[in-house]
Structure 1
Amino acid sequence: TICWSGLEEVFPDVRSLCILHSSSSLPADSFSHIPLLEHLYLDGSHLAKVTSGAFAGLPKLRFLHILVSSSWGGVNVTLEPGVFQGLSSLEELTLAGMSLALAPAALLDPLVRVRSLRVDRAGARDLGELFCLLSPGMEKLETLELPDSMVSSIQNGGCSGSNPWPTVLLSRIRILDLSGNPVRRVEPKSLSVFQNLSSLSLSMVDVWVGQLWGSGMGRVNKLYLSSYALRQFTPSLSDLCTLVVKHGVESLDLRLALITAFTAEVMKRCGPGLRQLSVTSQDLSGMDLGFWTGTGQIQGLMMVLTKLTNASFCSAGGGRVWNLTSLILHENHLTEITTDQFSCMPLLERLDLSENHISSLAHRALQGMPLLRVLDLTHNKISMLGEDDFEGLPALEVLLLEGNKISGGIAHGVFRRQHRLQDLSLGEIDIIYQLYLNMLFLGFPTKLQHLLIDTGPGTYLTVGHVPAPEFPMLLELRGKMIQSSDCENNMFPMVRELKVGDGTKFDCNNIFLAPYFLNLESFEFSANPEKFATPYTTINQLRKLKRLKLTNLNFSNHTDPSVTFRNLTELRSLVLINCRLNFLTRSMFTDLVSLRVLRLYSESPLILLEGVFIPLLSLSTLVFDQVDFRCDCSNGWLLDWADNSRKTQVVLLQRQQCIWHYQRLNFLSTMERLCQTEDDFLSYVSTTAAVCTLLCLALGYRFLRWPCVVLFFRLRGWVERRVGRRWWRRRMGGQWEELIEGEEGEEEVRYDAFVSFSSGDEAWVLGEMAPMLEEEGEPRLRLCLHHRDFEVGKGIVDNIAENIYCSRRTVCVLTRRYLRSDWCGLEMRVATHRLLSEHSHRLILIFLEHISPFELSAFHR
């Protein structure tokens, strides 16, 4: 669960932010400290409330996606008024997985610059419910996507309160996506507001296509029709052609629809306007392959997952020429390409036959396509490439043969006519132990920019004497072992990006390849450390390198990691995946002054020595994909560095583990527990003790101040009487009894009464009470009055305690002022405690005012 306050650690110059969370609410001003943010993606499974002002302070935000990923239907998420206030630059908004039935009426009013709005899985039955949420001020809105929202009917019933749809706004919509909705009914004139759509997507359930041309909509350039579920939409081809003609459809895409009578006669009704036809996920194995003769204007045909076993369109066309420019027959059941199979398509530029079961190319199979630029034969079963297989393709630029196990050989000169070739991928070359690139081309295509070679167990690669390519190249090599002895050729210096993957060992003249690719800017290398032990230190010669990704290298053998990354001053991104590193030291990264991104993945325990990242002056992102640290305090510095570094964002550190006694433990919690220093512990204990002491003192002063004072003096008096008298008795011997009798006698007759009174009642005590008892009474009494009889220089508390214990009785003159006085309260408590401990003492209360019994303690009542 994300703590939104933790976002304060995100750098203020971040422009793209993706958050996956499980919080239930999005508070206000969550992103106000990131004012430059342009892209924001929020994915949560428990989001229930978005507070007003949640996106305040984001004046440059252009793309906002809010996704509730836990549900298929719409969840009731409370969107408070003003949620999108201040998003004046927002261009694209996506709300997925939340119901908008209870959304405020003016929710979208601030979004005046939005061009694209997507409301996914909203759970609305009627399309009008979603149209009514649109604000008239959204004048730039062109794309409206409402997929998977359970819309079952399209009817123009207006909005609540007899308000009409925002027709002016809807008339500007160019792209309307209603795919994934179980539409069962389209009422007449319900779509009349849309008169110039460039794209319309609909999912239907047992709907007659005639309802669409009766809906009142105007021209539609691209029309996507699909069945909500398999076999729930069964339109006739005749009705579809009528729809195409009535609405000027140029591109028709049919998915999961069950169509019958796919013939040339019916296709004539589609007219000359249809340019693109796409059919997906429908069994067309028995269709009439000459259907295209009914409308010879189709320029693009795509049939995917249609179970086609034959692609003889030309022979079925009876010799007619088809002006087709793109033919995609992806994921069908084709097994071979016969002679002149596509010869009636002289304008064809793209042919996609990928993921079929083609095992062979017949003689002249690819003839008659002089303009073909892209040929995709990936993931078939082609085992041999003959000399004339591609002879009729002089304009070919992209040839993809990846995923074919070529075991029958590759003829010399097979690509001799492909002088314009820019992208070539050769499938798995099996049982071919020598591959001569110059012999494949009988020269070399100087425009080649991407070359992929997938070899078998072992291949000896020879480039030969070829001219230098005109453009920088991307070279990909796959296989178990590739060796070459002519690495000093004209092609390797033009390679700017090199990918050697899948545990491939590639040696040039029996040494590592780096010295022969000195102009590399991007290098990805994946080795097999269990089989090959190769020193990789020559990587430091790639001085122009900007991106480096190393996977499964064994730095623990034959390679000094402190030398490998020297001289790479232009390197910006470094990814190290399971490279058998036990330590990361500062010397490894000394020259990486331009490095911005560092990603680490290690399955073995890894120790980061203190200060290892100090040389990385430009480092902005440090990612720990998976690092098994050692539970050792030598890694403890990393926590302080990650917490204090303001220029480097440390990612996924909280998910990492460390090894402790054959157990995997959370790295952060374990390090905090193991590596807490003595100073930290003492500071923690002393701070805790000080806080507890202050709390106790505060509470004691508030509630137990005077009882504690009385207890203190009682204990002191008891100690003085018991301990002091024993010590004095041992010292004085026989004189002790006489002294004690004299002292006790003197103490008993010192005062007859201690008078406790408030200063406000002093006039009555001195004017009436004291004269009457001391001068007029019989017998005359000796009173202790604090202003007269307290010993000068002694503390007030000492005087109170001593004089009360030297008096036979205590007289308390009670008034409301007396009860509010702290000193009077103390005198009363001391007298009460003496009364409880010495039953001979008496406490007399004199009430000068009427006082409620509830103002006194229970004992005094």
Structure 2
Amino acid sequence: MTVTCWMHLLLFCLCCHHEIQPAGCKPLWMSRQFPCDVTSYNTTQIKFDCRGRRLQAVPLGITSNATELDLSENVISNISADSFSNLPSLTLLDLSWVNKNKGVIIAANAFKNLTKLRELSLIGNCLNEIPGNLPRSLEILDLSNNQIMFLDSSSYVGLTNVKQLLLTRNCYMWSPCGRSVTIMEDSFAAMTELHTLDLSFNNLTHVPKGLPQSLSMLILASNMIQYISEYDFLGLENLKVLKIQGNCQRCHNAPYPCVPCQNGSLAIHPEAFHNLTQLETLNLGGNSLDHLNPSWFERLSKLKQLFLSFNFLMKEITQESTYLKYLPKLERMDLSFNFALKDYPMTVNLSKEFSNLKALKTLHMEGLVFQNIEPGTLEPLYELKNLTALNLGTNFIIHSDSTIFSKFLNLKMIYLAENRLYPIPGKSPSFQSDGYNQRSDLSYAPLLRPHPKDFLYELSHSLIKKECFESGRVLILSSNNLFFISPKQFEGYGNIACLNLSGNGFSAALNGSEFSSLPNLTYLDLSFNKIDLAYGNAFKELQKLQVLDLSNNPHYFKAFGVTHNLNFTRNLPALRVLNMSHNYIDTLTTKQMYSKSLTELQFTNNNLGTLWKERDGSYVMLFTNLTNLTILDISYNKISKIPDEVYEHLPCNLIKLRISHNSLTDFKWDKLQPFHQLQILDLSYNALPNVTGINSNVTLTLTFLDLSHNHISHLDSGFLKGAKSLTTLSLNKNRLTIINQSTFLPTPESQLQTLFLQKNPFQCTCDSLEFILWIENSDLKIPRLTTEVTCATPANQKDKVLIYFDINQCVNDNEAFLSYILTNLFIIVFMFVATVSHLFYWDASYVLHYMKAKLKGYRTLNSSDGVYDVFVTYDTRDPHVSEWVMKNLRVKLEEEGEKHLPLCLEERDWPPGVPLVENLAQSIRYSRKTLFVLTEGYVKTGVFKLAIYLAHQRLLDENMDVIVLLMLEPVLQHSHFLRLRRRLCGESVVEWPRTAAAEPWFWQNLRNVVRADNQPSLCSCAIETCILLDPLPETQSASLVTGGLLWLEAASVLIAFADMADKPDVSEVTTFDKTKLKKTDSGEEHTANQRKRREKKENLFYLILLHRDTAVFHEGGEDVTGSHSCSTMKLVSVSLLLPYVQPKTYAQSIFLALCFHGSRQEILAFHTFTHDQRDCSVVQRSKFIRLSEQFY
């Protein structure tokens, strides 16, 4: 079986273990690694949403039945001919900003196979021309924000079914090109079905010719068209929307780059709109028009919306406006910002022609700039029964007669924001202009609100909140100068249900009478003021008030020593929503708030962290008596810890609890159990390090839990076990590195559907394998899984997507698996060899050397000379030494290993009553070896010296070296005997190791030494000489040692080299029992080659000894003359070498040397010694005697 097969089997086992199927077992689009979201609306509509996924190419795996594909906002730089070849069912394709406003290469046949495509968006791709071979089925084509500068009839060949063509922003002020877009005549003639054409922001200088008659909407806004002729819209009888605003801009105070027209305003032929009889919307704003030709509107009887803002039409508004009589169906009209330059009139009286607008519903008159609203100002509008919204904002109005608005019976919204209205005192003084009419050089900004980048000359911002508008009649007085409120302020406005007084800066203390004229008020906005809540009667007149906004009133709450009273909630029995945000409350006179009706409390951007400080229970019941409260938002309150008492006194009916943007480091999850209706809990933007304790204490009703932007680094296994209703969990921007599979264990009760994990520093290693496999198998929706759930470690995976981590290197990598097998095999073999070597090394070595010896001709030596294997002599007086010998040495040499003759031990084997000398002699004589266990005390005893001489006597008698020295302690460091023995026969000197690890080697080495054959050697001769010299004084023996023993050493080396050819390798005979092997005779005892080698050795030995001994006797001639014992010692030391050479030759040489160099006493000593040498024959001795006597 190959490695690949094994890997597939392993991957299958892992998949079964995790109860998942391999990725190859399901379609690619179902894989978690697939970057797009797939939505099926029904069986025939399937959408692949790949927007903003950082894709570099069209992803693989999009099914052929896909009907919608969104690839916008990616980094795809090339779209090939095969990118969509397998998507024949595609009806919508969005390629907007597909390369983030950079160039995109689109192949010529990229869209050829999309025969069902109806909508194609190519916005922001820097295209220079329209792509070719677009499908004929196309109905909507968006080419905005490109660089298409030229269009002709060939540009849209075959696009006969296109109904909507958007070709905006190819060349304009924010994307300058230095020229205008050129559109040739009849460029759109082939589009016979076209009904919407947008050519705005293209620097067009004229209306394109030959536009299709099917057009119903034409947008030519923000171009450079300065003249509209009578033929420009000829043939467009079906046109319903025409927008030509911003072609000749009013540059005074314009909040955008502005280039004025050469002629000052847009020139329009009187009959330019004559054939547009179906027109419903006309936008002529931002064209610097100073008059309106009635002939323009003569045939626009169906017009419903007319936008005339940002022109110079003040006269047309206040004087004869005959054009209005042609607009009976007009419903919406915008006359904003048509103020006259350097003029601030007392009032503006609308033309009487406005009374003809019977269908008018909304009228915008912002930015006309006048001081007063007088009875005649809006008089023409009194009879307009359909008028519901009147916008008079940003007019710098100082005074308004509120009784005027009582005449508008159906008016639902009165917008007077951004003016200069002053409060009306209890007794209204006569109004004085106070010089305001002298502002002849004032200039006014078109709007005080921020403008979008591309100004459309339409009022697109929301004037009021939806909830306010739906409550009833609305009065907006925000951003005026109402620094106090009197009951008369609102008289005449009618039955007001929603009142907005934000941004007026009034600081009066409310006493419960200010809004007495508004008994039906349900919505009150007092934000951005300086409300003083000193009195407990505040708002008591508003018994129907449901929504109260007191946000952004921090002035008095920041002041110390001032009454901060929140008892006003008792006075509002219908209050549902209270906004107290952005007041920076850090102290309150009221310790508790009371309300039975309040359901929502916004208490953000205050300082509950100070109110709820530890060991101060003053404010722990602040919200307790809000018994019906279901929504509580206490975000941005600098809370670092919530006291236990606060949890216990929060209203139990809470459904939504938001505590985000605080500094919480701990949250008591067990305190949530009483909240049986809690559904949404927001703890984002805190400093929670963990979620310990959440699993069993979280309320069962919780559906949404936001823990994003915390410091959570670990999730306990099954930490959401108790949250059976939880559907959404947000863990964005925490410190999670690894999530275990058991963290989100699936249970039958679990309802979790969405899990947010973006921007966590995940660790992309094999430790995350289980989590990645769980993601692959899970049905949870993980938003931005393929873009923002990224890795932080290791460094080579940084910023890479977690789900794209290659798990093959963990479970399906052939090379890794092979390396794993080889590594494990190597480790197993290595451990086996090491173990076997440790346990059976000597057995293997023995067998190996035994076989090698057999191959070289060695055989087993049968010998029974001795009774004992080894005689061990040691210091019996030292109990430690005795114990070591009996329990260690005896066991190792007798009981372990191969069984040989027993040891001879003094304390065990010596018969009692026998003299010491006899016991010593017998033990040494009948033992193969004599082992001396040397210690500091033992070498000083006479027993040791006697035993060493007796052992040496065997060397003299039997020519066998039986001495083995075991140095249990470092002794005799300066002994010539020991030093020479170490030098020449180091195997016979064994030292007790210093470390326990070397003890096995020590015992094996000792076994090898004591079981070696007792054969004569040069080492024995040298040692004998050293023993005889040791008793001499150092001054006498030094010369002999240096002069004689060095020659012995040299001789031993040369003999060893000369004899090396006849003997096995040293390592071969020192690592196993040599007593069992003996050289096998080969038939002929002495061959010619052997005799030659022996003669060479003897001659060499003879020459060396002759030269040496001559020098020895010559050296000692003068110093030791007359000392017979010394001369005898010299002769004896020389004679020790006699067993190794021919005695006759050697003796003659010595005698001749003495004749020349020695004295008479030395010759006689040599003569006497030769008589005692048994190795010399009688004939030889007689010859020596005769020679010596004759010579002398």
TM-score by length of 2: 0.46
- Equivalent residue, structure 2, for 1:295: 380
- Equivalent residue, structure 1, for 2:607: 480
- The 3 A distance-change label for structure 1 pair 403 and 75 is farther
Q: Kindly state the Cα deviation for residue 361 of structure 1 after the two structures are TM-superposed.
A: 2.4
- The 3 A distance-change label for structure 1 pair 244 and 507 is farther
> Is 1:46 the counterpart of 2:102 in the alignment?
yes
Distance 1:403 1:340 in 2: 27
Distance 1:128 1:533 in 2: 70
Distance 2:763 2:514 in 1: 58
Q: Kindly state the Cα deviation for residue 214 of structure 1 after the two structures are TM-superposed.
A: 2.2
Q: Kindly state the Cα deviation for residue 583 of structure 1 after the two structures are TM-superposed.
A: 0.8
Find 2:659's aligned residue among 486, 504, 525: 525
Distance 2:641 2:519 in 1: 34
Q: Kindly state the Cα deviation for residue 365 of structure 1 after the two structures are TM-superposed.
A: 1.9
Distance 2:679 2:185 in 1: 52
> Is 1:418 the counterpart of 2:547 in the alignment?
no
> Is 1:579 the counterpart of 2:662 in the alignment?
no
Distance 2:296 2:525 in 1: 46
> Is 1:268 the counterpart of 2:346 in the alignment?
no
Residue by residue over 1:762-786, the C-alpha shift from the partner in whole angstroms, topping out at 9 and shown as x without a partner, is xxxxxxxxxxxxxxxxxxxxxxxxx
> Is 1:445 the counterpart of 2:577 in the alignment?
no
Matches within 5 A, 1:235-246: 236-237=316-317, 241-246=321-326
Q: Determine which structure has greater relative contact order: mean sequence separation of CA pairs < 8 Å that are 6+ residues apart, divided by chain length.
A: 2
- Equivalent residue, structure 2, for 1:846: none
Residue by residue over 1:681-738, the C-alpha shift from the partner in whole angstroms, topping out at 9 and shown as x without a partner, is 7249999xxxxxxxxxxxxxxxxxxxxxxxxxxxxxxxxxxxxxxxxxxxxxxxxxxx
Residue by residue over 1:192-230, the C-alpha shift from the partner in whole angstroms, topping out at 9 and shown as x without a partner, is 454354433334434454357426433322212244xxx
- Equivalent residue, structure 1, for 2:521: 396
The 3-state SS of whatever aligns with 2:324 is: helix
**Would you say the 8 A contact 1:605–1:658 is kept in 2?**
no
Matches within 5 A, 1:608-757: 608-615=739-746, 618-629=751-762, 634-635=767-768, 637-642=770-775, 645=778, 648-651=781-784, 654-655=787-788, 665-668=798-801, 676-677=809-810, 680=813, 682-683=815-816
> Is 1:186 the counterpart of 2:265 in the alignment?
no
- The 3 A distance-change label for structure 1 pair 655 and 382 is same
Distance 1:442 1:118 in 2: 57
**Would you say the 8 A contact 1:305–1:331 is kept in 2?**
yes
Distance 2:134 2:97 in 1: 21
Matches within 5 A, 1:590-609: 590-602=721-733, 604=735, 606-609=737-740
**Would you say the 8 A contact 1:238–1:267 is kept in 2?**
yes
- The 3 A distance-change label for structure 1 pair 381 and 468 is closer
Distance 2:490 2:600 in 1: 27
Name the stretch that deviates more: 283-292 or 249-258: 283-292
- Equivalent residue, structure 1, for 2:333: 252
- Equivalent residue, structure 2, for 1:284: 369
The 3-state SS of whatever aligns with 2:303 is: strand
Give 5+ residue unaligned stretches, structure 1.
342-346, 688-861
Find 1:458's aligned residue among 587, 591, 609: 587
Distance 1:649 1:53 in 2: 35
Distance 1:294 1:494 in 2: 48
Judging by fraction of residues, say which structure has more helix.
2
- The 3 A distance-change label for structure 1 pair 335 and 65 is farther
Q: Kindly state the Cα deviation for residue 501 of structure 1 after the two structures are TM-superposed.
A: 1.6
Residue by residue over 1:237-287, the C-alpha shift from the partner in whole angstroms, topping out at 9 and shown as x without a partner, is 35793333332344321355444687555533433425533244x472557
- Equivalent residue, structure 2, for 1:856: none
Max Rg structure: 2
Aligned-partner residue type, residue 705 of structure 2: L
- The 3 A distance-change label for structure 1 pair 460 and 352 is same
- The 3 A distance-change label for structure 1 pair 650 and 409 is closer
**Would you say the 8 A contact 1:119–1:147 is kept in 2?**
yes
Q: Kindly state the Cα deviation for residue 548 of structure 1 after the two structures are TM-superposed.
A: 3.5
Q: Kindly state the Cα deviation for residue 480 of structure 1 after the two structures are TM-superposed.
A: 1.2
The 3-state SS of whatever aligns with 2:283 is: strand
- Equivalent residue, structure 2, for 1:327: 414
- The 3 A distance-change label for structure 1 pair 165 and 383 is same
Aligned-partner residue type, residue 292 of structure 1: T
Name the stretch that deviates more: 184-193 or 668-677: 668-677
Distance 1:338 1:575 in 2: 51
The 3-state SS of whatever aligns with 2:321 is: helix
**Would you say the 8 A contact 2:545–2:572 is kept in 1?**
no
Distance 1:18 1:671 in 2: 19
Distance 1:106 1:17 in 2: 24
Distance 1:380 1:82 in 2: 59
Aligned-partner residue type, residue 369 of structure 2: L
**Would you say the 8 A contact 2:682–2:707 is kept in 1?**
yes
The 3-state SS of whatever aligns with 1:553 is: coil
**Would you say the 8 A contact 2:569–2:595 is kept in 1?**
no
- The 3 A distance-change label for structure 1 pair 659 and 110 is closer
Judging by fraction of residues, say which structure has more strand.
1
Distance 2:775 2:67 in 1: 18
Distance 1:449 1:676 in 2: 58
Matches within 5 A, 1:369-388: 369-386=493-510, 387-388=512-513
**Would you say the 8 A contact 1:370–1:394 is kept in 2?**
no
Residue by residue over 1:350-378, the C-alpha shift from the partner in whole angstroms, topping out at 9 and shown as x without a partner, is 12233455433245322333411221223
**Would you say the 8 A contact 2:678–2:699 is kept in 1?**
no
**Would you say the 8 A contact 2:70–2:93 is kept in 1?**
yes
Distance 1:444 1:360 in 2: 25
Q: Kindly state the Cα deviation for residue 538 of structure 1 after the two structures are TM-superposed.
A: 2.8
- Equivalent residue, structure 1, for 2:282: 200
- The 3 A distance-change label for structure 1 pair 628 and 107 is same
Distance 2:186 2:544 in 1: 51
Q: Kindly state the Cα deviation for residue 329 of structure 1 after the two structures are TM-superposed.
A: 3.1
Give the superposed CA RMSD.
5.3
Find 2:169's aligned residue among 118, 121, 126: 121
Q: Kindly state the Cα deviation for residue 20 of structure 1 after the two structures are TM-superposed.
A: 1.7
Distance 2:779 2:214 in 1: 51
Distance 1:579 1:436 in 2: 35
Distance 1:613 1:414 in 2: 52
**Would you say the 8 A contact 1:146–1:179 is kept in 2?**
no
Distance 2:160 2:697 in 1: 53
Aligned-partner residue type, residue 480 of structure 1: N
Distance 1:126 1:192 in 2: 27
Residue by residue over 1:519-560, the C-alpha shift from the partner in whole angstroms, topping out at 9 and shown as x without a partner, is 444433215226x86534434554544443322334338x63
Q: Kindly state the Cα deviation for residue 677 of structure 1 after the two structures are TM-superposed.
A: 4.3
- The 3 A distance-change label for structure 1 pair 514 and 70 is farther
- The 3 A distance-change label for structure 1 pair 601 and 465 is closer
- The 3 A distance-change label for structure 1 pair 362 and 493 is closer
Aligned-partner residue type, residue 109 of structure 1: N
TM-score by length of 1: 0.61
The 3-state SS of whatever aligns with 2:815 is: helix
Residue by residue over 1:590-616, the C-alpha shift from the partner in whole angstroms, topping out at 9 and shown as x without a partner, is 244554443333354654233433438
Q: Kindly state the Cα deviation for residue 445 of structure 1 after the two structures are TM-superposed.
A: 0.8
Distance 1:555 1:255 in 2: 52
> Is 1:366 the counterpart of 2:422 in the alignment?
no
The 3-state SS of whatever aligns with 1:523 is: strand
Q: How many residues align?
A: 644
Q: Kindly state the Cα deviation for residue 643 of structure 1 after the two structures are TM-superposed.
A: 5.1
Distance 1:664 1:461 in 2: 56
> Is 1:220 the counterpart of 2:303 in the alignment?
yes
**Would you say the 8 A contact 2:270–2:296 is kept in 1?**
yes
